[in-house]
Amino acid sequence: MSQNSSLSATTPPRPQAGSPGRLVRKTAVELVVDELRDRILSGAIPPGSALRQELFAEELGVSRLPVREAIRQLSAEGLIDMIPHRGAYVSMLSRAEVQEFFDIRLRLEPWLLRLAVQQRNVQDLELASQVVAQMDTAEPEQWGRLNWQLHELLYRSAQRPAALAMVRALHEKSERYFRFQIVNAPIRQQAHDEHSALIAFARHGQAEQAEVALERHIAEAADQILAIVDHLLDASALQEPA
């Protein structure tokens, strides 16, 4: 949507769950959630920005109630910070945090994948291929969850539950940054190709090739996300008063 769009206009219908063929329109809350999420992830509302409910309600052509509920939902997603006695702010980004997450991933995940390939599970690899297909059309808010599902399927036959739990925690903490990546970088085809290559190496028992490919995959994702974070932080700094 554009920044000046009104949400009171007629919206595209979507299929209603449990009722094949029947269509239902999005609620005002869902529309506000989509609009605010898009603006935050694209950087149109920079990190650290205050979110004024009355201004958004007026601009989007809705009451303050759906805006308030949308902010609550996006706070649960980690995109908005609710600060007592101050209000709602777009969550800040941390370059150092991103760098640390990916540094640890680069040390743990290639090792896990090498072990997993040596004890590969064909059923897990088939499921991984299905997840890759889902990621091709996933919404940004689904990307991080599916990305973790894929990597978990690739690693879990390594039978290293403590290490896998550490990697899961890193992926969960990185989910917000994955959303910025999928919105701001044309990575769907690249991700599809790289994930498919990892699965192919695993199927053929090529542990060394899989390990090298995963190292490259993680390093390139880190470069992309760090570049996006730098851009968003620069944009935020430019909007700060002198």
Of residues 76 and 193, the one with the higher pLDDT is 193
Please count the CA atoms within 13 angstroms of the CA of 196 that sit on its side-chain side. Answer: 12
Rounded average pLDDT over 25-38: 87
pTM score above 0.85: no
| Alpha carbon distance 140, 34 (integer Å) | 11
Same domain, 123 and 230: yes
Q: What average pLDDT does the structure give for the chain?
A: 86
SS3 134: helix
Q: Is the pLDDT of residue 23 over 90?
A: no
pLDDT band at 111 (very low <50, low <70, confident <90, very high): very high
CATH number (domain holding residue 64): 1.10.10.10
Q: Is the pLDDT of residue 141 over 70?
A: yes
- Flag whether 19 is in a domain: no
Tokens of 74: 């996006």
Q: What is the per-residue pLDDT across 85-97, written as a single tens digit (0 to 9) for each?
A: 899 999 888 899 9
Counting the structural domains of the chain, the total is 2
| Alpha carbon distance 18, 16 (integer Å) | 6
* Domain closes at, from 90, 118, 142: 90
